[in-house]
């Protein structure tokens, strides 16, 4: 994907947004042309705004992974702080939300895994997934 870029850049001094979606103008401040990581295959700037906004809002339904996908999708917006002001708000919000949620969730999961029975007592056995699966017979189809 990126291969054509360098060849073209040298040849023309211009980058076309290819795979990485980053087009750097040969001027002093590089600014990407395409807001998505897919470059010209991705969304245009207007569509990007609505997509970024809807991903950000849907992420509040306990969907941190959607926030992470949002950050990945609009990676050029995150990397270049001086571009795409409208989209940038939502992408940065998604990034912050993802990090906060992940920290909380992983701290809980690690406490549960490392603490184990010592910390929780008998309730650990009721909460751990393989016991729950056995109790509810979820794996009985095999």
Which residues sit at the interface with another protein, rule CB under 8 A? 1, 4, 7-8, 10-12, 14, 16-19, 23, 33-34, 36-38, 40-44, 47, 51, 62-66, 69, 72-73, 105, 108-109, 112-113, 116, 127-130, 132-134, 138-139, 141-142
Q: How many C-beta neighbours within 10 Å does residue 11 have?
A: 8
Q: What is d(CA 53, CA 84) in angstroms, rounded to the nearest whole number? A: 13
Alpha helices in 25-84 (DSSP H): 45-58, 64-73, 75-79
- For residue 50, the minimal CB distance to another protein (Å) is 10
Shortest distance in whole angstroms from residue 100 CB to another protein = 14
| Residues composing the chain | 142
> Tokens at residue 43, please?
């969304």
The 3-class secondary structure across 81-96, one letter per residue, is: CCCCHHHHHHHHHHHH
Q: What's the closest the beta carbon of residue 105 comes to another protein, in angstroms?
A: 6
- Phi first, then psi, for residue 9 (nearest 5°) are -60, -50
Nearest residue (CB) to another protein, 64 versus 93: 64
Nearer to another protein, 92 or 112 (CB): 112
Q: Closest separation between CB of residue 104 and another protein, Å? A: 11
C-alpha to C-alpha distance for 87 and 116, rounded to whole angstroms: 43
Helix (H) or strand (E) holding 37: none
Using the minimum distance from each CB to another protein, give the nearer residue, 29 or 114: 114
Specify the residue, 95 or 128, whose C-beta has the smaller distance to another protein: 128
Cβ proximity to another protein: between 8 and 83 the closer is 8
């Amino acid at each position: 994907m990126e291969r054509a870029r360098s060849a073209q850049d040298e040849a023309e001094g211009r980058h076309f947004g290819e795979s990485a979606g980053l087009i750097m103008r040969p001027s002093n401040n590089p600014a990407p042309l395409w807001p998505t990581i897919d470059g010209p295959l991705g969304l245009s700037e207007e569509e990007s705004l609505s997509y970024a906004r809807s991903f950000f809002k849907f992420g509040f339904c306990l969907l941190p992974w959607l926030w992470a996908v949002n950050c990945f999708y609009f990676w050029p917006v995150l990397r270049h702080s001086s571009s795409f002001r409208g989209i940038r708000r939502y992408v940065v919000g998604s990034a912050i939300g993802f990090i906060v949620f992940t920290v909380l969730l992983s701290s809980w999961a690690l406490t549960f895994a490392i603490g184990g029975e010592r910390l929780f007592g008998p309730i650990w056995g009721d909460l751990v997934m393989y016991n729950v699966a056995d109790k509810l017979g979820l794996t009985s189809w095999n």
